[in-house]
Amino acid sequence: MIPARTNPAQINPPHTIKASLSLWLLLMMIVSATVASEESLEGVIEDHWQWVLRQYPERRLEYGDRSGNGQWTDNSLAAFQQRYQDEGAFVARLEQIEPATLGHDARINRNMLMRQLRESRRRFEDGLHLIALDMRSGPQHWHSMIDYLPMETEQDYLDWLSRLRALPDQLVNYQGLLQEGVTGNRTQAQIVMARVPAQIQSLLEGSATESPFYKAFTALPPHFEPDQRGQLQAEATRIIETELNPAFQELLSFLEETYLPAARAPGIGSLPGGKQIYSHLVQRFTTTDMTPDEIHEIGLQEVERIRRDMEAVIAEVGFQGDMAAFNTFLRTDPQFYYDSPEALLEGYQAVSKRLDPGLVKLFGKLPRAPYGVRAIPDEEAPDTTTAYYMRPAIDGSRPGWYYVNLHRPEVRPKFEMEVLSVHESVPGHHLQISLAQELTGLPEFRRNGGFTAFIEGWGLYSERLGYDMGLYTDPYSRYGQLIYDMWRAVRLVVDTGIHYFGWDRQRAIDYFLANAAKSEADIINEIDRYIGWPGQALAYKIGQLKMLELRREAETALGDAFDIRAFHDELLGAGALPLDVLEHRMDTWLESKLAAGP
């Protein structure tokens, strides 16, 4: 039997074929538009990154490129104006790319770069580039660069000489920025700047060969010929004596005679439009839309919560007295302190060796980059914080470094060493930053950059992970963890208090002393840091609270299926993100886990 012939039109009517064709063409147009938009975006991102490397030659070394080692970033008024215009051009190019035509990852890249560019332009518009240096940052500290520069070949030393020759012009530019700040009422706080003249004066003491800028030439590589060594050392001595020291002396005179008398009160709110500037800095550093009032209230609540936990530890150890008396006991009893800087450094190194074994329980992926523990240079130590971290080079040529402050070991308690180390090294800054640098498929501005609320929020969140790692086994170490959590809660109160509510410096110091067991020397340095860097100190606690919230939500939703390693791998798997972007990422991850079922 021969089957009846089927009319093709009955299977695929003409209007259906046309509709399918139209749909296919529409899809192809969408795909084509998406590809074109993403290629355009990639072009903007790459052009911007190459611009960054030209503008900031110091950054090239992280990629194994030594071509910038003889240069400094141009810090002249004209250079800031030009960078503002260049960033405006990048913003305009990004605005021409419709987010709707991009894929999910490309939209995030576009939005993050746009955010960074707009914030940089806003900083220029607010005149914050004119507040150009303080006790913790500025050219008086640039000699410390030698600690991480590769000093192996003659060219490396010639590059450092080139930088020394160029430094006097940099100092002139700094003076120009500061003078413009005086004229435009954009000055740093006097209490912060009052420490800078002594820092500069210390550079001028002794002979040229005793200058920290000469340090690179004190131990030249043994394979250098005697004449070669002599020429390099002689030129370094000449530059320091005849060019660099006179330039620093001129900057010192300007600071003492012109700038310090014109410097402002502690809070940035004392400047014209200062409260509005501070409100924007709050949003910038926290990557939220929170107001100073809201953050101040969160701080007060966190201080009260942590006080209750601290009082429980005081009761546990059987101390007879209130928290203030217990804190005084901790600050003054010799049992809690090392006798020498050398013993303190050995203590930090011993703590760091105990951290790595606990990581495998918390992370599925660990970074390849190593890290080490170093002392903060003696020239910086009196005026800086308890510790800080320096990220490794992208090309693997330099490890991460955990720098610890050995100045006055009698004020650096043993019970803080574990919590400080997990914050600055692992699982804190070193683990998070190194993982970000080792990510593939991300543009460089995301691999080697990020947002303070994420980076410092993760560092503070990591302090809680010390319990999971078997740390804080005695009540004093647990109290140390609470001291550090309290420290960041106090920051919310005093930073907003100083810059928005008009607190004077002593009120901020007194509030800190009343609520935290850190030494008075540390507290004064901290308060002066907040005065000099408005808003930055808010990022730690706000970031930590968001990460803790995301973890609680995942634990509650997943129950026994919650895997802390998978959670952390996802949290860290896209580099440092704004908190709103992070929340969306983790919500999407949680939804996918719930949809997959047990």
Q: What angle do CA 535, 538, 544 make, to 5 degrees?
A: 155
Q: What angle do CA 105, 440, 362 make, to 5 degrees?
A: 95
pLDDT at 526: 92
The residues near 312 (Cβ < 8 Å, ≥ 6 apart) are none
**Structure tokens belonging to residue 177:** 């920025």
What stretches in the chain show pLDDT beneath 50? 1-11, 29-32
pLDDT at 9: 43
How many other CB atoms are found less than 10 A from the CB of residue 453? 27
Helix 564-571 vs helix 539-558: angle between axes, to the nearest 10 degrees?
A: 140
pLDDT at 1: 38
Handedness of CA 147, 148, 152, 154 (dihedral sign): negative
CA dihedral 312, 315, 317, 318 (to 10 degrees): 180
Question: At 24, which amino acid appears?
Answer: W
pLDDT at 35: 57
Cα(114)–Cα(93) distance, integer angstroms: 10
Predicted confidence (pLDDT) per residue in 288-328, tens digit: 999 999 999 999 999 999 999 999 999 999 999 999 999 98
User: Do residues 495 and 451 touch, judged by C-beta distance below 8 A?
Assistant: no
Cα(191)–Cα(265) distance, integer angstroms: 8
Handedness of CA 374, 380, 386, 388 (dihedral sign): negative
SS3 annotation, 329-380: HHHHCHHHCCCCHHHHHHHHHHHHHCCHHHHHHCCCCCCCCCEEEEECCCCC
User: Do residues 66 and 60 touch, judged by C-beta distance below 8 A?
Assistant: yes
Q: Residue 290: helix, strand or coil by DSSP?
A: coil
Q: Residue 153: helix, strand or coil by DSSP?
A: coil
Backbone angles phi, psi at 373, to 5 degrees: -110, 130
Backbone angles phi, psi at 70, to 5 degrees: -100, 10
Task: Report how far Cα 468 is from the mean position of its chain's Cα atoms.
Answer: 25
For the chain, the maximum distance between any two Cα atoms, rounded to a whole number of angstroms, is: 113
Cα(63)–Cα(42) distance, integer angstroms: 20
H or E element, residue 404: strand 400-404
**Structure tokens belonging to residue 434:** 């190194």
Cα(413)–Cα(274) distance, integer angstroms: 37
pLDDT at 18: 59
Cα(550)–Cα(577) distance, integer angstroms: 14
How many other CB atoms are found less than 10 A from the CB of residue 501? 16
Q: What is the secondary structure of 180-238 as a DSSP string? A: HHHHTT---BHHHHTTHHHHHHHHHSS-GGGSGGGGGGSS--TTS-HHHHHHHHHHHHH
Cα(438)–Cα(573) distance, integer angstroms: 10
pLDDT at 26: 52
pLDDT at 518: 79
111-123 core/surface letters (b: 16 or more CB in 10 A; e: else): bbbbebbebbbeb
Which is it for strands 387-390 and 371-375: parallel, antiparallel or unpaired?
unpaired
Predicted confidence (pLDDT) per residue in 85-103, tens digit: 999 999 999 999 999 999 9
Asked whether the whole model's pTM tops 0.85, one would answer: yes
User: In sequence order, what are the beta bridge partners of 372?
Assistant: 401
User: Do residues 371 and 348 touch, judged by C-beta distance below 8 A?
Assistant: no
pLDDT at 222: 93
Q: What angle do CA 46, 42, 456 make, to 5 degrees?
A: 70
Cis upstream peptide for 427 (omega within 30°): yes
